[in-house]
Amino acid sequence: AVLGEAMNRMAGSLAEQSELRRKLTGNISHELRTPLTTIQSYLEAFRDGILQPKRENIEAVLEEAARLGKLVNDLQGLTIDSYEREALKLKQLPLTELVTQEAERIRPLLQQKEITLQIEKPVADFSALADETLVERVISNLLINAYKYTPQKGKVLITFSQGNEEVCVAVADTGIGIDAEHLPYIFERFYRVDPSRTRATGGSGIGLAIVKELMEAMGGRVDVDSKPQHGSCFRLYFKRSK
Ligand code: ADP
């Protein structure tokens, strides 16, 4: 019976994986096709004299091209291959310091929406196993999301805590929050709670998948708590030592 159950579980997870892969390729094609189609139709309209190649029309084509470019960049950032993973030299780093530095870099962006950023640093710095570049990418991804999904005059709070084995960095916002039904999927590639809304904010649904991947590459993990209309709290857990 135990063996049978294990077999069933395995079959189930294989089916799940192939379903995920199918969704992923479908999503990539869809994401690439949309801007491409727009660019193509503009160019055809210019060629056929239906549309004048005026500045504003050309701007629209450029915008679509930029979107394609961003998508390709995001895709590149998504996979740390095994080589990179091995080349990754995890070091004991002053995490509080690194996170604060990166957050300060993003403060001006938050200020554009009058969002206040508060960083509650512990009295003594926490250090953990990490890679400087990856920490920067993880923090910037979370803060850019906080910016995108928090209304004007909101608040973002960064706090630190330390357990026996892990250091936790929490990034909380007073944004729109995420419905419980969507929460399990937001770390999946290309998953967006509201595709039409995130299209307007330029999201491609890859940011959190990158965060998860990078945290795992550092031997850590990420989780989230969220309440619709109240806000979200993303927590990054870093290993204190090997
Ligand atoms: P995107 O590029 O669409 O922002 P992400 O992978 O970064 O993609 O996030 C996936 C989805 O999770 C987003 O589309 C959004 O619906 C939701 N999300 C992410 N961060 C937040 C946040 N801080 N507050 C509310 N919703 C969020």
Res 82: pLDDT = 47
Residue 178 in contact with residue 226, Cβ under 8 Å? yes
Q: What is the mean pLDDT of residues 184-203?
A: 71
For ligand 1, say whether the CB of 143 is within 6 Å of any of its atoms.
no
Nearest CA to ligand 1 atom 4: 203
* pLDDT tens column, 165-190: 999 999 999 999 999 999 988 998 77
Pocket test for ligand 1, best of 27, 117, 141, 149 (most atoms within 8 A of CB): 149
More confident call, 195 vs 65: 65
Res 70: pLDDT = 77
- Does the pLDDT value for residue 81 go beyond 70? no
For the ranges 65-74, 89-98, 126-135, 228-237, the one whose mean pLDDT is highest: 228-237
Res 162: pLDDT = 95
Res 155: pLDDT = 98
Least confident of 56-60, 134-138, 192-196: 192-196
Least confident of 48-52, 66-70, 175-179: 66-70
* 144, two tokens: 């850019």
Res 21: pLDDT = 67
More confident call, 84 vs 48: 48
- Does the pLDDT value for residue 227 go beyond 90? yes
Residue 233 in contact with residue 160, Cβ under 8 Å? no
- Does the pLDDT value for residue 233 go beyond 50? yes
- What is the pTM assigned to this prediction? 0.74
Within 10 Å of residue 148's Cβ, how many Cβ atoms?
Answer: 18
For ligand 1, say whether the CB of 145 is within 6 Å of any of its atoms.
yes
Q: Could you tell me the distance, in angstroms and rounded to a whole number, from the CA of residue 70 to the centre of ligand 1?
A: 16
More confident call, 126 vs 37: 126
Res 112: pLDDT = 87
Q: Could you tell me the distance, in angstroms and rounded to a whole number, from the CA of residue 104 to the centre of ligand 1?
A: 21
Res 209: pLDDT = 86
Distance CA 49, CA 88 (A): 54
Closest of 40, 55, 36, 173 to residue 103, by C-alpha: 173
Distance CA 138, CA 172 (A): 14
- Does the pLDDT value for residue 83 go beyond 50? no
For ligand 1, say whether the CB of 173 is within 6 Å of any of its atoms.
yes
Residue 242 in contact with residue 220, Cβ under 8 Å? no
Residue 40 backbone phi and psi in degrees, to 5: -60, -45
Q: Could you tell me the distance, in angstroms and rounded to a whole number, from the CA of residue 108 to the centre of ligand 1?
A: 20
Provide the mean pLDDT of the chain: 85
Nearest CA to ligand 1 atom 14: 192
Closest of 79, 66, 85, 176 to residue 131, by C-alpha: 85
Residue 47 backbone phi and psi in degrees, to 5: -60, -40
